[in-house]
């Protein structure tokens, strides 16, 4: 199981002369950007509907920011994206307030990213396991582009940028495969 500390160890092997604090900052930035751009970390939040209330404050795990909302469902039926809006940092507004209260009446699928200074222990280990090389490469881009340092190397920065972007592409492709599989499963359930 890969952890954030494991990522620092991977960085240290590649640029041993770089200070640990600089590596840590570069990795936090890379992790933040990777989760935001790759949409690798999603979760579903369940809200209680309140009669005549259209705006809801979303609350994710404490160390994460909501990047975007993928979908909103009420009673297992998806609400069209033109019937709700999302305002950062965490407000979901429905075009029409519900007429009655309903416990656990709304499911909201959100994309999460870490906060820049967050404790990374809450990041699921499968993200580190699957995308650790991409996250490290994103940090190495920043490290290798620092001017006037012994590890400055634009060529290596370019190489690692490609690896980082490839990781983002892999994550988005993984997500699309999961979505297609879910759609197929739902179609099979609906035909039974």
Distance CA 140, CA 144 (A): 6
Question: pLDDT of 109-146, one tens digit each?
Answer: 888 887 665 567 667 888 888 999 999 999 999 999 99
Question: pLDDT of 35-49, one tens digit each?
Answer: 999 988 888 999 999
Query: Is the four-CA dihedral 56, 31, 142, 70 of positive or negative sign?
Result: negative
Query: pTM of the prediction?
Result: 0.79
């Amino acid at each position: 199981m890969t952890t954030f500390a494991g990522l620092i160890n991977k960085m240290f092997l590649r640029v041993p002369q770089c200070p640990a604090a600089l590596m840590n900052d570069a990795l936090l930035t890379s992790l933040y950007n990777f989760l935001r751009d790759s949409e690798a970390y999603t979760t579903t939040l369940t809200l209680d509907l309140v009669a005549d209330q259209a705006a809801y404050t979303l609350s994710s795990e404490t160390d994460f920011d909501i990047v975007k909302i993928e979908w909103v469902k009420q009673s297992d039926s998806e609400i069209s994206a033109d019937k709700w809006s999302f305002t950062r940092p965490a407000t979901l507004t429905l075009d029409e307030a519900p007429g009655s209260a309903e416990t656990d009446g709304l499911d909201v699928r959100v994309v999460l990213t870490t906060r820049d200074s967050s404790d990374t222990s809450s990041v699921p280990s499968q993200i580190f396991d699957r995308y650790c090389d991409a996250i490290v490469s994103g940090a190495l881009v920043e490290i290798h582009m620092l001017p006037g340092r012994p590890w400055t190397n634009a060529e290596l920065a370019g190489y690692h940028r490609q690896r980082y972007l490839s990781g983002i592409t892999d994550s988005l492709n993984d997500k699309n495969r999961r979505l297609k599989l879910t759609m197929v499963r739902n179609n099979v359930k609906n035909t039974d």
